[in-house]
């Protein structure tokens, strides 16, 4: 294959079959970590930037694009902006991986790290305040706003979900880690139209407030939120599973041993949720899960015993919590 641009390096049909991962059931893990910049967020980034261009809001060599990111989207946007000729400012926090921050900078973007946690114990509220300051001080600055921009949802309905539809004749379960909930909303919208009986499972870390959980400190980037994203109003999961970070680390480590692939923290969280729901799967069910990225960028965090001992609080007696359908962000059926 000969390519003309790094943006052509999006691999849409990679599914890792995990024999008997969920008891007697195989699981099909959609691998997004082999995409350029290493995650599913290259699709999100392209969708957000192209949406602004189509609406005449973004102009190369003039517009300064701004976004909040814990790492993967910032890296993807930095590459796209370098190719398209936009200045880019990424607002992040101390949980972001140093290697990812360095990559963003090497693509020519500016990185601002906020140090203060917000009232929910996370950093997202603080990131939003910094973005507001940037927008007020620079008339050329435009916020992509992955948390509310419908383009985030649409790109995953049109691409990620359709990639699943092309691979499988039926899907009974789909598990998606939630951050902005754009991937979840897009996938659920499209897959429900194709497979009316599908069960959509939203997976988040304990401490995330998106679906009504109690706020708490979190250390693994790329999943969960301390401010409920507006796109969550469009996501209608059948189940919500909240996994604590200790369980996420345990699952990542066991997955390396058993399936010989380093996966990121959000993937470990999703895999832990699948194992929690094993009793609910029926014979012949097709189970698909999204792996947003791989694990190499987490070697200094979730795969480092010293970091884990320092950063991850041991779980309580309920390492995984499940909820029924959630409407308007409030949980029921704890």
Q: What pLDDT sits at residue 70?
A: 85
Average pLDDT in the 109-117 region? Answer: 95
Average pLDDT in the 38-45 region? Answer: 97
Average pLDDT in the 4-9 region? Answer: 96
Whether residue 321 has pLDDT greater than 60? no
Q: What pLDDT sits at residue 53?
A: 96
CA distance 270 to 121: 22
What angle (nearest 5°) sits at the alpha carbon of residue 170, between those of residues 169 and 173? Answer: 150
Q: How far is CA 1 from CA 30, 137, 154, 244, in A?
A: 22, 45, 28, 42
Q: How confident is the model at residue 317 (pLDDT cuts 50, 70, 90)?
A: very low
Average of per-residue pLDDT values in the chain:
92
Q: How confident is the model at residue 314 (pLDDT cuts 50, 70, 90)?
A: low
Q: What pLDDT sits at residue 251?
A: 98
Average pLDDT in the 223-243 region? Answer: 94
Q: By three-state DSSP, how is residue 110 classified?
A: strand
Average pLDDT in the 231-248 region? Answer: 95
Q: What are the backbone angles phi and psi of residue 140, rounded to the nearest 5°?
A: -90, 0
* DSSP letter, residue 316: -
Exposed e or buried b per residue across 67-96, where buried means at least 16 C-beta atoms within 10 angstroms of its C-beta: bbbbbbbbbbbbbbbbebebbbbbbbbebb
Whether residue 326 has pLDDT greater than 70? no
Whether residue 333 has pLDDT greater than 90? no
Whether residue 334 has pLDDT greater than 50? no
Q: What pLDDT sits at residue 312?
A: 87
Q: What pLDDT sits at residue 303?
A: 96
Whether residue 319 has pLDDT greater than 60? no
Average pLDDT in the 305-331 region? Answer: 59
Q: What pLDDT sits at residue 121?
A: 84
- Tokens 């963003």 locate to 104
* DSSP letter, residue 157: I
Token digits for 252?
A: 């990542």
Q: What percent of the chain has pLDDT over 90?
A: 86
Crossing angle for the helix pair 72-84 and 98-106, nearest 10 degrees? Answer: 10
Comparing CA positions, the residue from 266, 263, 264 lying closest to residue 223 is 266
Token digits for 234?
A: 């469009």
Q: What pLDDT sits at residue 318?
A: 41
Q: What percent of the chain has pLDDT over 70?
A: 93
Whether residue 106 has pLDDT greater than 80? yes
Q: What pLDDT sits at residue 98?
A: 87
Average pLDDT in the 27-49 region? Answer: 98
Q: What pLDDT sits at residue 322?
A: 52
C-beta of residue 156 within 8 angstroms of C-beta of residue 181: no
Q: 16-25, 284-293, 314-323 — which is least confidently predicted?
A: 314-323
More confident residue, 2 or 120: 2
């Amino acid at each position: 294959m000969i390519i003309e641009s790094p943006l052509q390096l999006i691999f849409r049909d990679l599914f890792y079959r995990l024999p008997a991962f969920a008891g007697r059931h195989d699981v099909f893990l959609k691998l997004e970590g082999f995409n350029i910049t290493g995650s599913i967020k290259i699709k999100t980034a392209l969708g957000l930037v192209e949406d602004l261009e189509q609406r005449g809001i973004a102009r190369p060599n003039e517009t300064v694009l701004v976004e909040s990111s814990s790492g993967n989207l910032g890296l993807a946007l930095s590459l796209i902006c370098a190719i398209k000729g936009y200045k880019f400012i990424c607002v992040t926090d101390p949980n972001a991986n140093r290697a990812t921050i360095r990559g963003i900078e090497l693509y020519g973007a500016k990185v601002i790290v906020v140090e203060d946690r917000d009232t929910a114990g996370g950093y997202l509220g603080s990131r939003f305040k910094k973005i507001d300051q940037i927008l007020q001080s620079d008339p050329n600055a435009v916020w992509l706003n992955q948390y509310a921009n419908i383009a985030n949802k649409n790109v995953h309905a049109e691409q990620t979900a359709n990639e699943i539809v092309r691979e499988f004749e039926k899907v009974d379960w789909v598990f998606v880690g939630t951050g902005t909930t754009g991937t979840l909303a897009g996938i659920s919208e499209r897959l429900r139209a194709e497979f009316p009986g599908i069960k959509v499972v939203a997976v988040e870390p304990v401490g995330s407030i998106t679906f009504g959980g109690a706020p708490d400190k979190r250390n693994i980037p790329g999943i969960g939120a301390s401010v409920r994203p507006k796109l969550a109003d469009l996501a209608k999961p059948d189940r919500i599973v909240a996994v604590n970070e200790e369980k996420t680390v345990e699952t990542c480590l066991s997955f390396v041993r058993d399936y010989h692939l380093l996966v990121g923290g959000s993937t470990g969280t999703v895999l832990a949720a699948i194992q929690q729901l094993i009793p609910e799967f029926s014979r012949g069910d097709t189970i698909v899960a999204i792996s947003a990225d791989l694990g190499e960028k987490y070697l200094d965090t979730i795969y480092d015993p010293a970091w884990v001992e320092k950063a991850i609080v041991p779980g309580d007696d309920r390492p995984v919590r499940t909820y029924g359908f959630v409407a308007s962000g409030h949980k029921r059926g704890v």
